[in-house]
Amino acid sequence: MGYASTQQTAAGIHTRLYSRAFIIDDGSRRVVFVTADVGMISQRVRLEVHANYMLTTCKQHTNNKLTKPTTCSTPTTSGFQSIDRAHQNMRPGRIYRNQGELDHNSINRSPHSYLNNPEDERLRYKDNTDNQVLVLKFTDLDGDDFFGLGVCVCVCVCVCQTNMCAAFGPGDDMFESTRIIGENIYRKAKELYATAVDEVTGSVQSAHQWVNMTDVSVQINDTHTVRTCKPALGHSFAAGTTDGGGALNFTQGAVEGDPFWDGIVGVLLGKPSNETKECHHPKPILFNTGEMNTPLPWHPQIVDVQIISIALIMLMMDTEVVIAGLSNVYTHYITTYEEYQVQRYEGASTIYGPHTLSAYLQKYRGLARAIAQDRVSELPVGPEPPFFTKNLVSLLPAASIDRKPDNTSFGEVLQQVYPVYRQVGLSCGVRHDSGLIQNSERDKTFVTVEILDNRTETWEVVHTDASWETRFHWLKGSNQQSNATIQWFIPPSAPSGSYRIRHFGHYKAWKGFQTVISPYEGSSDVFRVASSFYY
């Protein structure tokens, strides 16, 4: 998910990515809400689950292991393990809700587009960003906590391998910005969680339909009907955004094409039909994705709309609406009609044309009406999209065998730690001979930071590669050799004592006429953390 840049490659782990599943059952109906730390959900993954499952993402750009459900969307397959575990661990409980505002934690990256909306619409809100935070608190019947679910806010700060990213946020670098934004969200969510007393009771409902978004008729008023379009991306899509501009000479706000680029793209990928160009006006089409089908369709045509109703949290009769952004099939952006006219990045990336939002609103009104009237069973399922099994493409080479320098072993330390570190936020580092990350078990940590318990003479794990304080850097070198560098940013709160840093992995080697994957591990020397070097 490196912003379509070949230079933006994964280089290790800062924090782990998770998938979290929540099952809500009222005794007669059940819904499953899954939130995954990935950039988007693929249509192929969506087709693997039931209609009463909602798959949502945080829209962050640090996941990898890409699959190809459509040629233009390459999302992470996060697996279904969290859903299986949630089903296995279900037990009776209660849900409480709380809501508040988190101001000054995010910005609208295109205020110019937002200002093109009608004034009476903008006056309904105090800001040009959504600052609402809704927390659902899950407990057992005795009131003991399960965990909480925060909805409508995410930490979305890019993490790059190069200096191509333009906006780092409120911190000095991207790590610091992520920490600041994440801590602000955490504190607000924790505050709302602790004070949540409004119990959510009642029935569970869900409504789902497949929709051909390339051909939706929308009734604008009593006399006027418009339609959605075949997918297409505009010139301003290639210009990138304020927080990450494109590398070529495209600019945001383009409402006219460029003969040079239109000619090149037209020869390579084909020109859009007059019907598609007229439908997308005033967007100058750069990539005519709706008419490109090699090796697979470049954009989905049939997508799903879905509403999950949990008692009071639904879409009718003075109830509360919660928008779970980036749910199910990813279809780029959805701007208002007025924002679309400006044709900045977001408008150029609204792939079904200027009336995309109106089409979705029309479909969601139908779902909400069916739920309110208890007529969900009468809703037509809609045209289910194709489940592609052929022509699937991977841009990543298969994991090769691992090699190491002569007279060394995998996991061997190449660069040792110092004997003593102070508790002043210093970085402690160690480097190992390593195997390919792809050959390792993904659900096990590559890193542990351990402290010696002097009472029992045993080692206790205090950090893993999921901890904010650790960074696991992996580097592939020449001759199929690689190494791993582990950094521990020592917090001031770290207890004084003896520590070690361990690395775990797997390597692939030939054994006879077949390859075998074997585990390895390595450990740093023991070192001390103290308040002073003169401990």
Which residues have CB under 8 Å from 260's CB, separation 6+? none
Q: What does the alpha-carbon distance between residue 290 and residue 267 come to, in Å, rounded to a whole number?
A: 16
Q: Kindly report whether the peptide bond that precedes residue 405 is cis, defined as omega within 30 degrees of 0.
A: no
Residue closest to 241 by CA, chosen among 158, 364, 363: 158
Q: What does the alpha-carbon distance between residue 80 and residue 136 come to, in Å, rounded to a whole number?
A: 22
459 and 2 in contact (C-beta within 8 Å)?
Answer: no
Q: Where are the alpha helices (DSSP H) in 40-96?
A: 43-46, 81-88
278 and 335 in contact (C-beta within 8 Å)?
Answer: no
Which residues have CB under 8 Å from 365's CB, separation 6+? none
Q: What does the alpha-carbon distance between residue 305 and residue 207 come to, in Å, rounded to a whole number?
A: 8
Other Cβ atoms closer than 10 A to 526: 14
What number of CA atoms fall less than 13 Å from residue 493's CA on the CB side?
2
Residue 13's alpha-carbon distances to 35, 172, 422, 472, in angstroms, are 20, 20, 25, 5
Tell me the DSSP string of 206-256: EEEEEEETTS-EEE-SSS-EEE-----EEHHHHHEETTEE-SSS--TT--S
Q: Where are the alpha helices (DSSP H) in 89-155?
A: 111-114, 119-122
Which residues have CB under 8 Å from 418's CB, separation 6+? 428, 527
Which residues have CB under 8 Å from 89's CB, separation 6+? none
SS3 of residue 4 by DSSP: coil
401 and 480 in contact (C-beta within 8 Å)?
Answer: yes
Q: What does the alpha-carbon distance between residue 124 and residue 112 come to, in Å, rounded to a whole number?
A: 18
451 and 496 in contact (C-beta within 8 Å)?
Answer: no
Residue 333 assigned to a binding site: yes
What is the Rg, in whole angstroms, of the alpha carbon atoms belonging to the chain? 26
Tell me the DSSP string of 62-124: ----B--SBTTB--B---SHHHHHHHHT---EEEEEEEEE--SS---S-HHHHTTS-HHHHTT
Q: Give Cα 479 distance to the centre of its chain.
A: 34
Q: What does the alpha-carbon distance between residue 166 and residue 507 come to, in Å, rounded to a whole number?
A: 37
514 and 447 in contact (C-beta within 8 Å)?
Answer: no
Residues in a beta bridge with 225 = 219
Give the tokens for residue 92.
């009776």
Binding residues for Zn(2+): 333
Binding residues: 333
